[in-house]
């Protein structure tokens, strides 16, 4: 049915730029069956066929057809082909992502065959082609394409090419046993003399809880410079000589607070400090 033939059509549909639209209203819900949506805002209902060429998809369910241009801002992509444009918000649950840019929202299911993943979360489905350049890969399977940036936090890397340059600092930290979890935090240890007094700088007293230092050399300046030094529990206990009266501290910190690591000790700018029982 033509839009002009509908009774009580929503104003956003009347204002839209379309060609050969085949639309119906069921219980007040817009059902788009075919034709081309060229401009304007699709503000709710079900898109079941045809082509979305331009404008903004602001809400509703995309069940079938081709999304060729414009911006997908909200709603659910449940089937069909995403061939071009930008996916900026909402959930991609099923269908084929063949081209364009995924800039935000959640990819929960379906196949990513082409285009660029630049932001948002990849939570499920298969990444089979294209480029992953930003955002978080948290679930699903990476089967093809290139991983060039972002965070690989969960899921399986089965195929494709890893194009991210090696991160020396985090690589050395991982050799030391310092790894970052899904929350972006890692744990390391240090020791002090009784009362929290520094073992190397006797005038220093370790505060409990959040503590950071600002007037220190930047990341990449090495570990033998000013900063807070941490390591594995065993190394922290033995590095400056075994002292059974020393106090052991557990330190939790973020990626941004890790400044350098040489595989034996790490230098951080701050973190959360807890005094714990010595495990040895």
- Between residues 170 and 28, the one the model is more confident about: 28
* Strand-pair partners of 41: 56
Asked if residue 103 has pLDDT above 90, the reply is yes
pLDDT-derived band at 162, boundaries 50, 70, 90: confident
Least confident of 102-111, 155-164, 246-255: 155-164
Residues 151 and 184 occupy one common structural domain: no
**Domain boundary residue, one of 162, 178, 193:** 162
d(CA 46, CA 44): 7
d(CA 26, CA 146): 44
pLDDT tens-digit series, residues 44-98: 999 999 999 999 999 999 999 999 999 999 999 999 999 999 999 999 999 999 9
pLDDT tens-digit series, residues 199-248: 888 899 999 999 999 999 998 888 999 999 999 999 998 988 888 889 99
Residues 196 and 121 occupy one common structural domain: no
Percent of the chain surpassing pLDDT 70: 99
Residues 155 and 177 occupy one common structural domain: no
* pLDDT at 243 (0 to 100): 85
Token pair 């299911």 is at which residue? Answer: 109
Residues 182 and 243 occupy one common structural domain: yes
Residues 233 and 149 occupy one common structural domain: no
Residues 43 and 125 occupy one common structural domain: yes
Residues 157 and 224 occupy one common structural domain: no
**Domain boundary residue, one of 131, 162, 193:** 162
- Kindly state the average pLDDT of the residues 240-263: 91
Residues 225 and 264 occupy one common structural domain: yes
Phi, psi of 158 (to 5 degrees): -100, -35
Residues 118 and 235 occupy one common structural domain: no
* pLDDT at 165 (0 to 100): 66
Residue range of the domain that includes 199 = 168-276
Q: Is the pTM of this model over 0.85?
A: no
d(CA 43, CA 114): 27
Residues 73 and 125 occupy one common structural domain: yes
Q: For the chain, how many structural domains are there in total? A: 2
d(CA 90, CA 72): 8
**Domain boundary residue, one of 162, 181, 206:** 162
d(CA 74, CA 208): 45
Mapped onto helix, strand or coil, the DSSP state of residue 61 is: strand
pLDDT-derived band at 168, boundaries 50, 70, 90: confident
Residues 221 and 254 occupy one common structural domain: yes
Residues 139 and 238 occupy one common structural domain: no
């Amino acid at each position: 049915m033509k839009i002009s033939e509908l009774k009580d059509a929503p104003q956003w549909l009347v204002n839209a730029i379309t060609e050969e639209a085949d639309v119906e209203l069921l219980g007040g819900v817009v059902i788009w069956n075919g034709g081309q949506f060229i401009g304007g805002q699709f503000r709710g209902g079900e898109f079941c066929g045809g082509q979305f060429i331009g404008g903004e998809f602001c809400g509703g369910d995309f069940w079938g057809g081709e999304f060729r241009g414009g911006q997908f801002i909200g709603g659910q992509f449940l089937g069909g082909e995403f061939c071009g444009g930008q996916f900026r918000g909402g959930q991609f649950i099923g269908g084929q992502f063949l081209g364009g840019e995924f800039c935000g929202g959640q990819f929960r299911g379906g196949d990513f065959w082409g285009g660029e993943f630049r932001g948002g979360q990849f939570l499920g489905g298969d990444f089979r082609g294209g480029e992953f350049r930003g955002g978080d890969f948290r679930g699903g399977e990476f089967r093809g394409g290139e991983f060039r940036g972002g965070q690989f936090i969960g899921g399986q890397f089965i195929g494709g090419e890893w194009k991210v340059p090696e991160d020396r600092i985090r690589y050395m930290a991982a050799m030391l046993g310092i790894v970052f979890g899904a929350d972006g935090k890692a744990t390391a240890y240090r020791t002090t003399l009784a009362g929290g007094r520094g073992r190397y700088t006797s005038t220093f007293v370790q505060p409990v809880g959040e503590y950071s230092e600002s007037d220190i050399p930047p990341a990449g300046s090495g570990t033998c410079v000013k900063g807070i030094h941490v390591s594995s529990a065993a190394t922290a206990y033995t590095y400056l000589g075994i002292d059974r009266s020393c106090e052991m501290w557990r330190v939790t910190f973020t990626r941004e607070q890790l400044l350098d690591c040489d595989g034996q000790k790490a230098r951080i700018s701050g973190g959360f400090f807890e005094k714990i029982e010595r495990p040895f």
